[in-house]
Amino acid sequence: MNGTVTVLDKGAVRIHSYMSPADTFHTTTQLIETPARIIAVDAQLTPAYADEAVAYAQGLGKPLDRLIITHAHPDHYNGAARFGVPVHALAQVREQILARGDSRLPTGQVIPVTDFTPNVEITAGTEVVDGIPFVFQAVAGGEAADELLVKLPEQGVLIAQDLVYHDVHLYLGNNDIAGWQQVVDALAAESGYDTILAGHGLPAGPEIYEEVRRYLADAQELLGDDGEAYKKAITDRYPSHVGPFIIDIANRSLFPADH
């Protein structure tokens, strides 16, 4: 396996957090193991890493029940077809995925939009699966226009995905640092969650919020009007973070005249 898996035992629930290698910026697929099934959250940038997550899930001996896509960024949905299960998402996330259309990998491989279009709509609220309450919450603004937050209140687990990164450079292409700061402040105000699952990087605790806040404040200070200058400044300030290519991708949106 090229990726790594972190296992968290939460009693009636076990979390298996698959993290891709640094070449796809430590993108995570969360495998939530309930007493009778596995619910997957997000699907990797490349089919190869999606296959690794699926193979690991199959080794747990319980059926994959569904795949939840949290937001409309290709590194979280490209591999959806490999899971072979219904794909769930917020209605607005589905529309954003459809609007993006086919996905092209850095290798040139094209993944048709039909391979990852969600087909089951998630509505905000609570769904009980095998006696485990899953709380679904829609969040607007921040890393993406719309994102799904998933909470397991009885286990103290908050599946934040790309609302939180852990030792990985942040994608700022949505151009909404202020909105992201507000979201992180709201998450930090949540009580009862000691395990935070990030969309990039290893699972963390609530201390991760201050780390994201600090990065966002630094980005706001350094951004300026020159994408290359910003990349150098932020990578100099966070030399141990992985995923500098994320900055290049974001800069295409932030500084379109330069690309």
Which of helix, strand or coil describes residue 118? coil
Residue 85 has phi, psi (to 5 degrees) of: -135, 165
Nearest to 76, CA basis, from 110, 43, 35: 43
Nearest to 203, CA basis, from 244, 241, 165, 163: 165
pTM of the predicted model over 0.85: yes
**Quick one: angle between helices 177-188 and 208-222, nearest 10?**
160
d(CA 194, CA 33): 18
Residue with token string 């485990």: 132
Do 77 and 116 touch, CB atoms closer than 8 A? yes
The CATH class for the domain spanning 4-258 reads: alpha beta
List the chain pLDDT tens, one digit each, 259 residues.
999 999 999 999 999 999 999 999 999 999 999 999 999 999 999 999 999 999 999 999 999 999 999 999 999 999 999 999 999 999 999 999 999 999 999 889 999 999 999 999 999 999 999 999 999 999 998 899 999 999 999 999 999 999 999 999 999 999 999 999 999 999 999 999 999 999 999 999 999 999 999 999 999 999 988 999 999 999 999 999 999 999 999 999 998 876 5
Please report, in angstroms and rounded to a whole number, the separation of the first and last CA atoms in the chain. 36
